[in-house]
Structure 1
Amino acid sequence: MAEADRAARREAVGELGTVLRDLADAAVRTEVPAGELTAVAAAARELTARLRAAGRGLHEVASVDDPEAGERWYSPVHGRGNPVAPALEAGETPGGRATGRVTVGKAHEGPPGLVHGGVVATLLDHLLARAVRAAGRGGLTATLTVRYRRPVPLGVPLLLTAEAGESSGRRTTATARVVAEDAPGTVLAEAEGLFVALRPERSAEVFRSLADPAGTWTARTGDAGA
């Protein structure tokens, strides 16, 4: 796909994702009559059929994606095109650090008024992985330990930070935390993760749909046997 075409498609994917996230929020908060719910469901089925007119296989990479650069437009955490994503805005800096900002809405509620604990863990896991990548390492999550220090409220801007730790062979550790933007001195939750890079042959098997998965999930030269 030409770069101009990809850019145009990304814009359209992002717009649809925004609209669908708004629809999801409306769906979990609505109290309209049952008849209106039935009518909306019928309209949604028609739209679903239009989107299914051309699709990709379960293991195929989206045309708007660039996995090597971390461009995952349908990521369940930060994907602009994914209607279930809490739409985390995240980035990383050289040296193994990553930051993120997100305001979690009703669709990801656990106890009333609070973010579901599994969603908190997912956000932290993503930041940990970004920090590992920023350190020039690859890997998949091997272990994830989350400590919930305080309830995490819905509708509040949250800040997440992560930092890569020690590396040994194919293994890299990282730590992360989440705070409210207006109370940065109070840790709401924190996590430790261990990431293990796949050996090249295993990576080729697991990610056979990718042309080159080496940089993100695969051990670097010299680490594969560790």
Structure 2
Amino acid sequence: MNELKNPFASEEITPAFNDEWQAKRRVAAAVRLLTEVLVTSSPDTSKMHDIAEQLETTAADFAASPRVYGRLDWIRSGEHGSYGQVSHELNPLAGYSNPLAPPVTTRIEGDVAYGHCFCGWAYEGPPGSVHGGYVAAIFDQFMGFAQKLGKRPGMTGYLHVDYHQRTPLTTDLQLEARITSAEGRKTFMEGKMYAGDALTASCNALFVEPRQGIYSLEAQARPEEVFSPPASDRG
């Protein structure tokens, strides 16, 4: 799998597939910044109403442009990249073009998966700490990619998270995961999250490969088409 087909080929951020995604990444980064500023600032009320009016106008301008709903529609034209590349942009936890994402970056080296993310104040749960629900979501995303280690990717069967201590905000969070065992379509894994040298959370997860393979889900989502990504995208 070459770097263009595999957006997670290395620790470095893979360049956008085209200028459209590059521009969308810039917009997403601006929205993330706006969100961080919103939850950490206290301007006067009239100024906030002015800002809201500007944003409403911007949103209306965006809404007037061509709309594309769902990753399958993004890949149909062949102009927006492979399924993996589109997911790399739009995933709600890892997508560089999705302002909801921290984002979570992931790579595989040998038999270990490594990840990284940085959660600002918009992700606060307990004071100064990442909300536990986001910790679990980060694990779900990270482990979902890490299961590629087993060559039989599937859906989350369960995800059990242990919170050892608070996970601090505005801190580089490091992740790692390994496969512990495999039984037919089932892949069992363990993962850990660190803030510096401190273990903040760990998890055990089960992923189950669909009977017809993970890519059968795309065909189910759009039954009039049979979606079959390039072999190089199948890991």
Instruction: Calculate the TM-score normalised by the size of structure 1.
Output: 0.83
Are 1:154 and 2:169 counterparts? Answer: yes
Are 1:90 and 2:106 counterparts? Answer: yes
Contact 1:115 1:152 in 2 (8 A): yes
Partner of 2:8: none
Aligned partner of 2:83 among 67, 82, 87: 67
Ranges of 4+ aligned residues in structure 1 off by more than 6 Å: none
Are 1:34 and 2:45 counterparts? Answer: yes
2: CA distance, partners of 1:128 / 1:57: 26
> Residue 94 and residue 52 in structure 1: after superposition, are their counterparts in 2 closer, same or farther (change >3 A)?
farther
Instruction: Calculate the TM-score normalised by the size of structure 2.
Output: 0.80
Coordinate RMSD, CA, aligned: 2.8
List aligned pairs for 1:1-226, cutoff 5 A: 6-53=17-64, 54-58=66-70, 60-63=72-75, 64=80, 66-68=82-84, 71-95=87-111, 97-181=112-196, 184=197, 186-200=198-212, 203=217, 204-206=219-221, 208=223, 211-212=227-228
Q: Letter of the 2:59 partner, please give it.
A: T
Contact 1:65 1:71 in 2 (8 A): no
Q: Letter of the 1:26 partner, please give it.
A: V
1: CA distance, partners of 2:126 / 2:229: 38
Deviations 1:17-50 (A, max 9, x none): 1111101111111200111111111111111112
1: CA distance, partners of 2:51 / 2:200: 38
Q: Secondary structure at the match of 1:72?
A: helix
Q: Letter of the 2:97 partner, please give it.
A: G
1: CA distance, partners of 2:226 / 2:40: 39
1: CA distance, partners of 2:73 / 2:37: 30
> Residue 38 and residue 70 in structure 1: after superposition, are their counterparts in 2 closer, same or farther (change >3 A)?
closer
- Unaligned runs of 5+ residues in structure 2 are 6-15
Count, aligned residues? 211
* % identical equivalent positions: 25
> Residue 132 and residue 18 in structure 1: after superposition, are their counterparts in 2 closer, same or farther (change >3 A)?
same
Contact 2:71 2:83 in 1 (8 A): no
